[in-house]
Amino acid sequence: MKIFNALTGEKEVFTPHRPGEVRMYVCGMTVSDDIHLGHARSAAAFDLFRRVFEFHGWRVLYVRNITDIDDKIIERGRKEGRDPAELAEYYRQRHEEDLERLRVPRANVEPKASEHIPEMIRFAEELVRAGLAVVRDGGVYFNPEKISCYGCLARRRNLTPERTEVPLWKPSRKDEPGWDSPWGRGRPGWHIECSTMARVFLGDVFDIHGGGEDLLHPHHDTEIAQSAGLTGKIPANFFLHNGLVYLPQESRKMSKSLGNVFTLREIFAQFDPAVVRHYLFSRHYREPMTFRLEDLERSRVAVDRLEGFLRRSAAAPRPARLVPEAGERVRDVLKSARVRFLEALEDDLDTVKALNVVEDVLAAGEEYLESGSAEPRELVRIEELIEEFDELLDLRPEGARTHSPEAVLIEEILKIRGELRRSESEEALSLARRLEEVLENAGIEFSDTAWGTRWKWRQYE
DSSP symbols for 3-49:
EEETTTTEEEE---SBTTEEEEEE---BTTS--BHHHHHHHHHHHHH
Q: Which tens digits make up the pLDDT trace of 166-182?
A: 999 999 999 999 999 99
Please say whether the beta carbons of 123 and 130 come within 8 A. Answer: no
Say how many residues make up the chain. Answer: 461
CB 373 within 8 A of CB 317: no
Measure CA 53 to chain center. 11
Instruction: Report strand pairing: 444-449 vs 245-246.
Output: unpaired
DSSP string for residues in 206-225 = EEEEEEEGGGIIIIIHHHHH
Specify the pTM.
Answer: 0.84
pLDDT the model gives residue 418:
86
Q: Please tell me the CATH superfamily of domain 2-269, with its number.
A: HUPs (3.40.50.620)
d(CA 45, CA 286): 9
Backbone angles phi, psi at 278, to 5 degrees: -60, -45
Whether 219 shows a pLDDT value over 80: the answer reads: yes
Report how far residue 226's alpha carbon sits from residue 243's, in angstroms, rounded to the nearest whole number: 25
Question: Which amino acid appears at position 313 of this protein?
Answer: S
Between the CA atoms of 209, 215, 219 and 220, what dihedral angle is there, to the nearest 10 degrees? Answer: 30
pLDDT given for residue 458 in this prediction? 61
Rounded-to-integer distance, Cα 37 and Cα 263, Å = 6
Contact between 218 and 152 (Cβ < 8 Å): no
Collapsed DSSP state (helix, strand, coil) of residue 239: strand
What's the confidence (pLDDT) of residue 378?
72
pLDDT for 28-38, tens place per residue? 999 999 999 99
Which residue stretches of 23-167 are H helix? 37-55, 71-80, 84-101, 117-129, 152-156
Lowest mean pLDDT segment, chosen from 49-58, 359-368, 398-407: 398-407
DSSP state of 230: H
Residues 411-435: tens digit of each pLDDT: 789 889 988 988 878 899 999 999 9
